[in-house]
Amino acid sequence: MKIIFATSNNNKAIELQKMMGDFIQIESLKDLFFTDEIEETEDTLEGNSKLKAIAVFKAFDRACFADDTGLEVEALNGAPGVYSARYAGPECDAKQNMDKLLTDMKGSSNRKARFRTVITFMDRDEVLQFEGIVEGEIIHQKRGLFGFGYDPLFIPNGSLSTFAEMQLEEKNQFSHRARAFSKLKNHLLGRYRK
């Protein structure tokens, strides 16, 4: 089964394909030469995820899914949250986002945080959302070379390593994204493997 993943981020597409196995083949927006910019104008992860899924479904009229992920830091009242990708500004990169986060958390003893992913799946018959959450904490300086985004600053509960210090297989044992996609995968297997 082929399904479109509404992302141009090849790291995410590769991460997901490994989790999905052989039954489900993921096609990214890059694979389909889709270059339109989908504006994330909603103020919730649920809203942005659905907005992206609708745009891609309209473009291809095929089963697709989209995700939106946010890092929610307790000491910052849930920020950066839905603005995680552009926390340091519209043209920022991951390093600038992490630097801003560390600056904003200076002097805070409460380092609790969580990653939350919301996936919207859409085809001609249904629109469904799946959520994955991982609790953890923000450390004081970056560690690790793997992953992307805020991974070098986040240690999930039950580990001594940041996401950026983990190989993909280990990360997927904890990952918010892996938890949400596991729910999607189970739904797809139940629905299409009949």
Q: What is the DSSP letter of 134?
A: E
Contact present, 122 and 61 (Cβ < 8 Å):
no
- Annotated active-site residue in 22, 61, 67, 68: 68
Whether residue 68 lies in the annotated active site: yes
DSSP string, 15-83: HHHHHH-SS-EEEETTTTT---------SSHHHHHHHHHHHHHHHH-S-EEEEEEEEEEGGGTT-EETT
Q: What is the DSSP letter of 5?
A: E
Give the catalytic positions in this structure.
68
